[in-house]
Amino acid sequence: MAVQKMAVRKRKAQDGMNRNADKGRTGRILAGLAGILLFGCLWGCGEADPQSFEPHLLEGTPITGQAERPASEVSPAEEALQPTAAESTPDAAETPAQVPVSAAAPQPADDKPADDQPADEEAPGSTEAPEITLIMVGDILLHTPVEEAALQPDGTRDFSPLFAHTSDLIAAPDLALVNQEVIIGGEELGISGYPAFNAPTQIGDALVDAGFDVVLHATNHALDKGKRGLENCMAFWDEAYPEVEYLGIHDSEEDSREIFYYTEKGADPEEDLTVAILNYTYGTNGIALPADMPYGVDLMDDAHRDRVEAQVREAQEHADFVIVCPHWGTEYELGISSAQRKWTKIFADCGADLIIGTHPHVIEPVEWAESEETGDRALVYYSLGNFVNWTSGTGTGVANRMVGGMARVTIGRDPESDMAVIKDYGVTALVAHLEDGTGGVTVYPLREYTPELGEKNRIRSQDAAFSYDYCTDLCDRIWGSLWD
């Protein structure tokens, strides 16, 4: 029998071992019922139902690449997009002639009825098929200047400014995932930046306040503070926020065998929609797992391949949809590495439906990958880049590290096959904004950023190429028309 770790969520009503995934759904349902009863009483002619929403179904066409442009048409910002040397990952990145990008992101239909047309009526007792909306952001990379920006005059730390411009986007979906790049070992172990990171617990407080539900800890920095760092981090989440799920690190062999399942309830159990989420890292910067905790971090190297394959296949058997979040690739490379291609095939062949990657610290393409064994396809976000960082690096390519992505995915059932499918997807471009002083580090959606803010960003002193236009050009190059 599969060991299952069921979703436990704050602000979500419990139903047996599962929690309803829809934030605020209960209130909306009750409000809707009250409105129907009131409308019926006033008019005496039945129900006044809300307009139905028809989600966009993907056509299933592969993502194509952009045609190369003549050198005369390449902007100065794009000429500066050459990466610096990778620091730690052994993968060699591919350098494709053209970077594959997605087709345009599906646009929601305008479902507002015409002034002279009533909204479609819904049959009494009918219920919309369950869907799961999710977002995921990349690395919370707490370099020393980011830590200093959070330091308050009284000696406490407040990381909430990091999320001041994105918390509404984070709190909106059913599931919000974040890659917590550095271990949360607490002040007991000393707060530190690169190369051996350690974060204070206040970053965890800020993640929860922003609306994140699932925290991914399988990264190359998971063992920066050894066994004690792991234990402190897990104790923090277990004691302070038991309703938040953390993945990728474990305090027991039994826990390491558990798979996280999240269920959105349907009208009856047969209509329930369940997703599984798994998190792995390519390694831990050469730091060995503690001798008495060989299960401490979920690894995806060749030595652990059989375990990874078995776990993904098990998830595929017990869930309608499988999400894998690998920490992989080559740092600062905008292309896709051979190791990423290799593991994409492994995950897809084992039944993964969605793969969202982190670690390179820069954004990478979004593609569909098809399993040669099954013919099924998986959507792959190769790297979401950094959510926040203030690297000490200088020179060409540093500006790339300021741009990140927020993956957006809607999962539902295909009405014909009844299989769980990706019904909509896209990516919201983000930019880390750096200024001196308390609260000076924050993250904006790129659509809300301005050329004036770009001029003020302190990263310009480390890479003069950075600008608002540089950021948009980079997103166009890597994501094409998929991003907003």
The answer to whether residue 163 sits within a structural domain is yes
Identify the domain containing residue 143 by its residue range: 130-482
How many domains would you assign to the chain? 1
Is 134 inside a domain boundary? Answer: yes
- Termini Cα distance of the chain: 43
Number of H-type helices and E-type strands within the chain: 11, 17
How many CB atoms lie under 10 A from the CB of residue 303? 8
Distance, in Å, from the CA atom of 295 to the CA atom of 325, rounded to the nearest integer, reads 18
Tell me the whole-structure pTM to 2 decimals.
0.79
In a domain, residue 106? The reply is no
Write out pLDDT tens, residues 353-382.
999 999 999 999 999 999 999 999 999 999
Q: Is residue 100 domain-resident?
A: no
Q: Is residue 324 part of a domain?
A: yes
User: CA–CA separation, 108 vs 170, rounded Å?
Assistant: 19
- Which is it for strands 441-445 and 4-6: parallel, antiparallel or unpaired? unpaired
- Residue 127: per-residue pLDDT: 63
pLDDT tens digits, 225-235? 999 999 999 99
- Regions of the chain where pLDDT drops below 70: 1-127
Looking up residue 303, the CATH number of its domain turns out to be 3.60.21.10
What is the pLDDT, as a whole number, of residue 79? 45
Give tens-digit pLDDT for 407-447: 999 999 999 999 999 999 999 999 999 999 999 999 999 99
In a domain, 93, yes or no: no
In a domain, 392, yes or no: yes
Inter-residue contact 213 to 176 (CB < 8 Å):
yes
Whole-angstrom Cα distance, residue 7 to residue 3? 13
User: Is residue 104 in a domain?
Assistant: no
Alpha helices in 22-136 (DSSP H): 25-43, 76-79
